[in-house]
Structures are given as structure tokens and as C-alpha cells.
Amino acid sequence: MTIADRWLLPDGMDEILPPQATRMEELRRTLLDLYDRWGYDLVMPPPVEFLDSLLTGTGTDLDLQTFKLTDQLTGRMMGASADVTPQVARMDAHSLKRQGPVRLCYCTTVLRAQADKHQGGRSPMQVGVELFGHAGLDADVEVLRLALSSLAAAGARETHLALSHIAIYRELVRGIGWSEDIERALFDAIERKAYVVIDELVAANVADPKLARMLSELPRLHGGAEILEHARLALADAPEAVREALDQLVRLHRGVVAEHPEVSFYFDLAELRGYQYHTGMVFAAYVPGYGQALSKGGRYDDTGKAFGRARPATGFSMDLKQLATLAEREPPTNGIWAPNREDAALNDTINRLRARGERVIQALPDQRTGPGAHRCNRHLVLQDGEWRTEPLD
């Protein structure tokens, strides 16, 4: 191994340097303050948990993304957190045990076994909110509005919101009794929008002509808000739960537009992201210039059941590293340069300035860099026996 190889980071792991680290910290504080103003309490989940609690009720996708290790104290298998949401659901159901709606927020680094195919990282800094204990649509509207407000606070000037509802597909296929292979094949074809394959699978495996027509039509139901009215007609023979899901999408659209009229909407009624996990509305928010959603979320009412306390739940999460690139800028040049000198009055002046929130950099002996390298636009000078702040030329 060469000396250079010793400093290589594992694939997908990154270090955050100035000024990006400063931008991320500023944004972290901005978002957590925003969530506090909306009534969300901060929680800090542990970075590692026993697998039997970490992966309870989460499906296979999270299992594949989880780094696993053996606890040297107990011999039990543990996992590094790859997604904070299940941990926060456990905290609500098992640790807090509060009654009524509970609003929680978080910001912490997670670790993933596989790099995100769009972002390329395996250690995102996950920030988000979860709202437990309310099954009504008002909770979903609140979460959607807060997600959009988060993107705006991060610097997004144009946002496109993709909305869907897991119950539409789930209720259409409920009770059909397909083999696992057929169900997986149709699921995969719908995700790829492979219309020919979908039509062939449905024709060969669905005897009810009305259901067959609706399943073939479902992947084609995508577009702007006008697609919801078209869906009412196309899915008129669907179970009541499907019609209720469509009504919820209409009301969600109205509720968000009232607060964020600048956001453009896209509906894909066959969006199956998080199918094993979500139970109701799902959404993804996109910003021009980024190939992936910057905010994802939805309703997941069944997660708390695995911890002995079923609770309605809805929320969203984002990667702070990605958000911090929305408004990249150099940090301000606003520091004060202080000379290296043994002087009690100078030390008192520096301490007073720092207590007022000023950034003061005191030179070190034989230092070769000057004020400009340390983002200083002022310096301390001794005038008439007093240390005063003066602009730098």
C-alpha cells in the first residue's frame, strides 16, 4: 500500500470541507428552527441498533442497505442505521408512548451498504419530520406543506411535486390470488411503464373484464391535476377504497395549492415506490437541475404495529448534503483580524467582540497567512491607548 492509498476513503464516503460544511451547518440550524416553529420536537436516534428492532416492519429494501456487525458484548447482530424513519417510529411507539398527535424531527448521518445510483453517496445526512397519531388528511397536508417550506428555506426557487396513493393499486389487486411470479412480473412491468407487457399479463391472468381494463389503464393515468378527473371515470368500477384514495389526492392538491400556488404538480397513479412500506399518499419533490427527488415522503400507518402500538404516521426525509448545494455561495468575509501580542486590554477586547457574536481570528507567532486568507475585512488597531476595530484597506 502506498502512502497515497492510506488516505483513500471507501467508495461512497465523503468528507465535508469548508465552505460546504459551514453551509450545511447553517442549513441544519435553519431547518430545525423551522420545524420547531411548526411544533416538532427534536430526537436523536442511536447510530447502531440490534437488527431485530432496527429492521422490524421495514421490508427487504432496508435490509439490503444495512451494514451488519456483531455486538462484542452480547454476540447479537446489530445494524448501522440506513434510514432514520423506522427508528423514530420505534421511539414514538415504544419509548415516548404519548397520546394524541406527536410531531418529531431529526437530523443525523446514516450509513448505507449500497451507494444511491443518483447521488453516489453511502453516508447521507438525513433530515426530516414524522407526524404520528393522526390518520386524517390534515396531517398529510401539513407534512406536504412543511416539505415544500423546507426546500424553499434551502434555496429552491422552482419545485415540482409528484403525488400518488399506494391504496389505488393495492386495492385493485387485493384478493386476485395470483402466483408470486405473476404478481412480481406485473409489478415490475408497471414500474417500467411497459404497456405491452402489462396488457399481456393482465389479459392472461385476470378473468374479470372490468378489473382487467382498470389494471391496464392504471399505468397510463399520469399527468397534471386534470388526470384525477379522468381517473374517476376510468376507475369508476373500482372498490370504494380506490375512489376514496382519488378523493384524497384531489383534496391534497387543493390543500397544498392554497399555500404554495407556485408549485407544479404531477400525478402518477401507478407509482409504487415504497409499496411494502407506505399505506397511503406518497410524494417526491423535484428541483430543476437535479436528477433525483430532493424530498420524499408519505403515509406509513403500519410501522408502529411491529413495536406493539399501531399508530397512524406520515412524514418526509431529505439529504442535507444535497440540499446544501441548492444555494452554494462563499461564506461572508466579515472577520476581525487581531495581532499576536501579550496585552490584557487586547484580550479583553477580543473576548467582548466574540461575546457579541463577532468572528475574531488572532494571529499566531510566525504565521505566514494574513487577514484575507481568514475572511477578515476588519482589524484591531491600538489608538490612543484603546483597541479599536477599523476596516482593512
**189, three cell numbers:** 412491468
114 has binding-site annotation: no
Mean of per-residue pLDDT scores for the chain: 93
362 has binding-site annotation: no
**108, three cell numbers:** 443525523
**353, three cell numbers:** 467582540
Q: What does the alpha-carbon distance between residue 206 and residue 202 come to, in Å, rounded to a whole number? A: 5
Q: Is the C-alpha dihedral spanning 51, 54, 58, 60 positive or negative?
A: negative
By DSSP bridging, strand 335-338 and strand 376-383 are parallel
Of 6-10, 148-152, 221-225, 364-368, the one with minimum mean pLDDT is 6-10
In contact, 130 and 159? CB cutoff 8 Å: no
What are 181-239's pLDDT values in tens digits?
Answer: 999 999 999 999 999 999 999 999 999 999 999 999 999 999 999 999 999 999 999 99
What are 26-37's pLDDT values in tens digits?
Answer: 999 999 999 999
Residue 3 has a CB neighbour count (10 Å cut-off) of: 6
Q: What does the alpha-carbon distance between residue 115 and residue 188 come to, in Å, rounded to a whole number? A: 22
What are 169-179's pLDDT values in tens digits?
Answer: 999 999 888 89
Percent of the residues in the chain that have a pLDDT greater than 90, as a whole number: 81
23 has binding-site annotation: no
What are 312-347's pLDDT values in tens digits?
Answer: 999 999 999 999 999 878 888 999 999 999 999 999
276 has binding-site annotation: no
Whose cell is 399481456? That residue is 200
**68, three cell numbers:** 451488519
Intrachain domains 9-135+301-331 and 157-295 with the same fold: yes
Which CATH homologous superfamily contains domain 9-135+301-331? Bira Bifunctional Protein; Domain 2 (3.30.930.10)
CATH number of 157-295: 3.30.930.10
243 has binding-site annotation: no
292 has binding-site annotation: no
- The pTM is what? 0.91
84 has binding-site annotation: yes
Q: What does the alpha-carbon distance between residue 108 and residue 47 come to, in Å, rounded to a whole number? A: 9
User: Residue 58's pLDDT band (boundaries 50, 70, 90)?
Assistant: low
DSSP secondary structure code for residue 348 in this structure: H
What does the pLDDT read at residue 5?
67
Domain boundaries, the chain: 9-135+301-331, 157-295, 335-391
Look at residue 265 and tell me whether its pLDDT is greater than 90.
yes
